[in-house]
Structure 1
Amino acid sequence: MVIGSLIDAGFSQKKLNEELTKLSLDNYETDSKKVLRSAITGTKFNVTIKEDSKNDEHHKRRTLKDVSEIINKSSLSKSVKSDSIRIFENLANAEAKVHDTLPEDVHFHEVGAIDSIVDIVGAVIAFHDLKIENIYFSPIRTGTGFVKCHHGQFPIPAPATVELLKGHHVIGTNIQHELTTPTGAAILTTLGVNVEKYPDISLLQIGYGAGNHEIAEVPNLLRVMIGETTTVGGQDEVWMVETNIDDMPGEHFGYLLEKMLDAGALDGYITPVQMKKSRPGILISIIVDDVHLSKVEKIMFEQSTTFGIRKYKASRKKLDRKLVDVETEFGTIKVKIGMLNGSIKNITPEHEDCRKIADINALPLKLVYNAAINAAQSINDRNI
């Protein structure tokens, strides 16, 4: 359904097949076609094992090492390989937890079958080809009942699916179908961020990926919306998340702040404060958007000694920003241009670029920084 939705949104089936041939697997075929689900048109993507390979595939028990070797030996791009293997690693970890074994000892069965390799690697290929930078997914709906697996009848959602969805917003339903599979859960939770509300975007493309069956209660479709994030007039709203702490080792605060920024926080800072009973303490302040709020809250509680947090919405007004390459005597350096109503207000060299050049050439950082500033003086409102 993931691949179907992306093909429906404009990804080329021909390009998909060309990229999949790089896996050097030739015992399957793919096709896609338009179908109706609850009177809504979507694309059904199919993977079919060739007749002369069905018996062989049925008895194969691929491990994480086997699947990783197939992907690593291919001529796919490095980033496609990396993301695909990460998804399989998360699947292996989930299966290992369920079956009380090690990830490297997991035999994937259904997940390791050709169609699942194609589903996972194909989805990653499509995301990269469409230049999707960030993936957000809504609360996950699960069905009820039982599904037949290699080990027998399993409850819906399957145990591996439940394990993969830990820490995410899950909505149970009375629908007697498997609405979310382990493969689908692994793709979303590995590559995406679970949100209650998707960010403001300029909507460009929409696609519907169709499931196998008609479901009476809901359209059996996965909808994807592709667009560019946008703010109106350089203004938006962010969350301020704060807490006061007086009982945590000083070395832990830097680690906590790094974890917050890695989780998607826009910024963060630490301020010494005087707390009740004249105790010295630390105020942790984190700026975060709607999309990453829940993840930042979780890290705050897991990684600090706080018993509670404060959060409130704050309005921001920002300069429009653009990265521009400038040529200096030491090499190319990116500078950040800040503009208001089309007029340049600030120019700041990118620290990492300056640091890298300074280290390579054994130069003072300030010398490289100043060279970038001087080179940027030729930039004006008209040629940016």
Structure 2
Amino acid sequence: YLDCHSGISGDMFLGAMLDAGFSLDTLKQVLAGMPITGYELQLEQFQDKGIRGSRFQVILTDQEQPAHHLSDIMALVDASTLSPRVRASVRSIFHCLAEAEAAVHGTTLEEVHFHEVGAVDAIIDITGAALAIETLNIAALYASALPLSSGHVKTAHGLLPVPAPATLEILRRVAAPWKPSPAEGEMVTPTGAAILATLARFETPAMRIERVGYGFGRKSFPWPNCLRLCLGRPLGVHMAGADNPFPDTDWVTVIESNIDNMTGEALGDLMERLLAVGALDATYLPLQMKKNRPAVLLSVICRVEDGDALAQLLLSETSTLGLRLQQVERRKAQRTQQDIETPLGIMTIKVKRLGDRIISAAPEYEECRRIALERSMPLEEVYEVARQVIKNTIIKE
């Protein structure tokens, strides 16, 4: 959860993440594999109004930084060794910035020149933000309302009112909540706004706080100029341990859409493609939609890092105009395989456990099918033989 009482910038976001446990060495190692030069990273312990935290800054060693087009930045990201999740997040954030700049200046996406946000420092801030979220295993990001300050900010286009037009356009598109602030000067930068608009939800979660990080900015206010980051777990989620029957707990993304105008053949092909590219599960449920149209509810479960790629596939390959994405907790029982001796030979079974307690055990379908074919037996008889052995040896009454 991001407490944005003093606004947000890319540097403040990274400062808070570094203060909460993200490693500067990890950031340096990843950036070393990207084709960018002319910078140094500075991280210092800082105190403001009695609060201690971290202040991060990208120091440019080359005075002249080139303007970039969106395609230049996308090519740089695609040529990197970033993970698919980080790469997708960086691309999405820059695409968000480009759309806002194009809307403000009345140009196309490719005509946009990234002056402030296209410089090396912003590429580092955005890459670092996405990398920190992955490294700290942050499954969901939330943010508070943003401070609405006044004054002007100096840009490549001259003096512009605060909030900068691109910042305002970014946050307008996601209906970001604002609250008046007595401060003058820029408190929410375009980079900070794009990070929030792309990766965060403007809600206050019910959670147990485990770590807090403070990322300081460079302006001076009557209050601490910091972004406060709270890391924790939703209420009801417990750490793995001896008393926890769900030691294997993680987060997944669920993607849903109602579809009423695709053929059965196309839907069948879609499910095969989803599973082939990394979906953990995909299902269709029958629906009755408006005008009495029969339809299906498509539901896809995937790893959090695969959510963006699968959403892009669905928007590209189906007739749907929109998707619903949410990240949910997944609790899993322990599953193991075990060989048992039966009258039909050695068979492999799958065993389900919660802690030290065996809940159930069952034979594998493919193995039962193979034995049924080899012995010319009904499949159900093979299952029954395996079940009796399981009952007498694995799950004893």
TM-score (structure 1 length as normaliser): 0.62
| Mapping 1:236-275, distance limit 5 Å | none
Aligned to 1:227: 232
Kindly report the root-mean-square deviation, in angstroms, between the aligned alpha carbons of the 2 structures. 4.5
Displaced runs of 4 or more, over 3 A = 249-252, 269-273, 279-282, 318-328, 335-339, 341-348
Does 1:180 find its partner at 2:188? yes
Contact 2:145 2:179 in 1 (8 A): no
**1:272, 1:70 → 2: CA distance?**
46
Tell me the alpha carbon deviations over residues 75-129 of structure 1, each in whole angstroms, 9 at most, x when there is no partner.
2223222211111011101111111111111001000011111111111111112
Q: Which runs of 5+ in 2 are unaligned?
A: 1-11, 239-244, 246-258, 263-284, 295-320, 323-328, 340-349, 367-378
Partner of 2:318: none
Alpha-carbon distance in structure 2 between the residues aligned to 1:322 and 1:63? 49
Cα distance in 2 for residues equivalent to 1:198 and 1:120: 24
- Aligned counterparts of 1:204 and 1:336: Cα–Cα separation in 2: 34
Please state whether the residue corresponding to 1:143 is helix, strand or coil.
strand
Deviation at 1:48, TM superposition (A): 0.6
Q: Who is 1:196 aligned against?
A: 203
Deviation at 1:63, TM superposition (A): 0.5
Matched, 1:136 2:142: yes
Contact 1:22 1:75 in 2 (8 A): yes
Residue 197 to residue 27, structure 1, CA distance change in 2 (3 Å)? same
Whether contact under 8 Å (2:143, 2:202) holds in the other structure is yes
C-alpha distance in 2 between matches for 1:281 and 1:207: 51
Q: Kindly provide the CA deviation profile for residues 266-320 of structure 1, in whole angstroms up to 9, marking residues without a partner as x.
A: xxx99879xxxxx9999xxxxxxxxxxxxxxxxxxxx99xxxxxxxxxxxxx996
Matches within 5 A, 1:151-162: 151-162=157-168
> Are the counterparts in 2 of residues 321 and 336 from structure 1 also a CA contact under 8 Å?
no
Cα distance change on mapping 1:227 and 1:250 into 2, 3 Å: same
User: Relative to 1, partners in 2 of residues 1:272 and 1:223: Cα closer, same or farther, differing over 3 Å?
Assistant: same
Q: 1:48 corresponds to which residue?
A: 59
Q: Deviations over 1:172-229 (max 9, x none)?
A: 323212111110011111112x23321323x22210000112211x321111111233
Q: Which has the higher contact order (CA 8 A, sep 6+)?
A: 2
Q: Secondary structure at the match of 1:23?
A: coil
Unaligned regions of 5+ residues in structure 1, if any? 235-248, 253-268, 274-278, 283-302, 305-317, 329-334, 349-353, 355-366
**Percent sequence identity over aligned pairs:** 32
The alignment status of 1:101 with 2:107, answered yes or no, reads yes
Does the 8 Å CA contact 2:142/2:203 hold for their aligned counterparts? no
Aligned length: 289
Q: 1:158 to 1:126 in 2, by over 3 A?
A: same
SS in 1 for 2:130: helix
Give the whole-Å Cα distance in 2 for the aligned partners of 1:326 and 1:7.
41
Give the match for residue 207 of structure 1: 213
